[in-house]
């Protein structure tokens, strides 16, 4: 099959999942074409089945905001015509599903039928998409897709609740590649981060946006270190990072909290982590939690959105209400203070993460592609 994939080429969950999906499909013999404004961050090497097509947006002084949707749909038409694309798979409703519809209509004028699959990832529905400016366009784009998927049952229900959707929404979860880390010996030099052997390493990875509640991470950590010696690794970048750094300076936490910025080597950070904190206000899936669990790191998270589908209560970690800093700290202390309990959570976290292995999810997408092509057969 020849499949064109449109995604945001960034560190965010939707871009990472779309890129890993394309890479895995190419290894199974499918011809994959990424179409976006920049090469996706995890698309390290192209091969005979893997292509990247840049969307160039001319900078005209006439436009205050350059029309990316127009440039994207025009580029998609070109790629479909040049490479005889079978299926267009767009990740994130705004603006990709909207551009996909324009692409489909332009191709139809030339007698070409292009099936569209839209995968909803989260904030395109729960945050951006529900804004009155975009809601009608998002609803239209979803309803004019041939197939629609969501990364969790929670997101599927949110979409049906917030939008007048006439399409069935199929749940295909996010995934991780277990084999990528199996038998991979990483140089876990805890001493680089934990000065004392008894110090625990607690980690948070996010885009530092308000929904991630990074101050809750630090407040939880403050309570943990009253009972358990620990260091906090804050990985990522975003609008609330400066605020978090100022808070740490004001409360003299600079020696205990380390801001590592964006990193391509998340597995190295997770390999020396003892606990992962994710106190988000909203998570449609929780890919960061899943990656932590794969590295045998128990997760303490909120119980919102798709997180309870990933992080199982008292098995892979602990679920708490949003803002329950005291409860999160108490549970963290309980786990970190009991060596046997901590080991049990570590092992169970890995087993839970393994259920989302890429080998179990990719076939679901292949079936979907085959189904969307059936009218043409």
Q: What is the DSSP string of 328-343?
A: HHHHHHHHHH-HHHHH
Task: Tell me 257's DSSP state.
Answer: E
pTM assigned to the model:
0.89
Judge if 100 and 204 occupy the same domain: no
How many Å apart are CA 148 and CA 130, to the nearest integer? 17
Judge if 184 and 171 occupy the same domain: no
What phi and psi values does residue 89 have, to the nearest 5 degrees? Answer: -115, 110
Judge if 187 and 168 occupy the same domain: no
Judge if 100 and 223 occupy the same domain: no
Query: Cβ distance 320 to 301 under 8 Å?
Result: yes
Q: Output b/e per residue, 278-292; b: 16+ Cβ within 10 A.
A: bbbebbbbbbbbbbb
Judge if 30 and 80 occupy the same domain: yes
Cis peptide before 142 (omega within 30 of 0): no
Strand duo 2-6 + 31-36: pairing: parallel
Judge if 164 and 114 occupy the same domain: yes
Token representation of residue 149: 């998927």
Q: Is 146 exposed, middle or buried (0-12, 13-18, 19+ CB in 10 A)?
A: buried
**Blockwise average pLDDT, block size 10, the chain, 377 residues:** 90 79 93 90 76 86 76 94 96 86 94 94 65 79 93 93 90 92 62 74 95 97 97 95 97 94 84 95 93 96 96 98 98 97 97 96 95 73
Q: Count other C-beta atoms under 10 Å from residue 194's C-beta.
A: 17
| pLDDT attached to residue 163 | 86
| pLDDT attached to residue 204 | 97
Helices (H), the chain: 13-27, 68-83, 98-108, 123-126, 135-143, 153-162, 214-224, 241-250, 266-271, 287-294, 307-310, 325-337, 339-354, 358-373
| pLDDT attached to residue 156 | 94
Number of domains in the chain: 2
CATH number at residue 266: 3.40.50.2000
Judge if 361 and 350 occupy the same domain: no
Query: Cβ distance 45 to 32 under 8 Å?
Result: no
Q: Which domain holds residue 25?
A: 2-175+357-376
Q: Count other C-beta atoms under 10 Å from residue 208's C-beta.
A: 22
How many Å apart are CA 231 and CA 213, to the nearest integer? 19
Judge if 200 and 161 occupy the same domain: no
Judge if 17 and 154 occupy the same domain: yes
Judge if 299 and 216 occupy the same domain: yes
Q: In sequence order, which residues have a C-beta less than 8 Å from that of residue 374 and are 6 or more positions away?
A: none
Query: Cβ distance 229 to 254 under 8 Å?
Result: no
| pLDDT attached to residue 136 | 85
Give the residue from 144, 48, 147 showing the smallest Cα distance to 103: 144
Judge if 335 and 195 occupy the same domain: yes
Judge if 243 and 306 occupy the same domain: yes
């Amino acid at each position: 099959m020849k499949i064109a994939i449109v995604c945001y080429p960034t560190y965010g969950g939707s871009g990472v999942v779309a890129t890993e999906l394309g890479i895995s499909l190419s290894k199974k013999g499918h011809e994959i074409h990424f179409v976006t404004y920049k090469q996706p961050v995890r698309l390290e090497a192209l091969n005979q089945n893997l292509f990247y097509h840049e969307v160039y947006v001319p900078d005209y002084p006439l436009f205050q905001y350059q029309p990316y949707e127009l440039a994207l749909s025009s580029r998609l038409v070109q790629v479909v015509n040049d490479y005889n694309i079978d299926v267009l798979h767009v990740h994130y409703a705004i603006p990709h599903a909207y551009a996909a519809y324009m692409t489909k209509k332009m191709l139809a004028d030339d007698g070409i039928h292009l099936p569209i699959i839209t995968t909803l990832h989260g904030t395109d529905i729960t945050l951006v998409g529900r804004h009155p400016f975009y809601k009608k366009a998002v609803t239209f784009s979803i309803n004019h897709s041939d197939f629609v998927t969501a990364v969790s049952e929670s997101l599927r229900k949110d979409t049906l609740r917030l939008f007048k959707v006439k399409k069935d929404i199929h749940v295909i979860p996010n995934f991780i590649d277990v084999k990528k880390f199996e038998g991979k010996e990483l140089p876990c030099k805890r001493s680089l981060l934990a000065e004392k052997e008894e110090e625990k390493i607690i980690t948070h990875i996010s885009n530092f946006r308000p929904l991630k509640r990074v101050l809750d991470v630090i407040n939880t950590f403050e309570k943990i270190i009253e009972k358990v010696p620990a260091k906090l690794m804050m990985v990522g970048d975003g609008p609330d990072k400066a605020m978090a750094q100022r808070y740490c300076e004001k409360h003299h936490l600079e020696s205990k909290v380390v801001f590592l910025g964006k990193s391509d080597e998340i597995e190295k950070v997770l390999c020396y982590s003892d606990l992962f904190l994710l106190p988000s206000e909203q998570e449609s899936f929780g890919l960061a939690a899943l990656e932590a669990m794969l590295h045998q790191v128990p997760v303490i998270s909120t119980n919102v959105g798709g997180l309870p589908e990933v992080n199982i209560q008292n098995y892979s970690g602990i679920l708490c209400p949003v803002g329950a800093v005291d409860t999160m700290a108490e549970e963290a202390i309980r786990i970190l203070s009991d060596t046997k309990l901590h080991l049990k959570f570590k092992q169970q976290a890995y087993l839970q993460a393994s259920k989302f292995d890429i080998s179990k999810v990719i076939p679901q997408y292949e079936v979907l592609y085959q189904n969307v092509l059936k009218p043409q057969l």
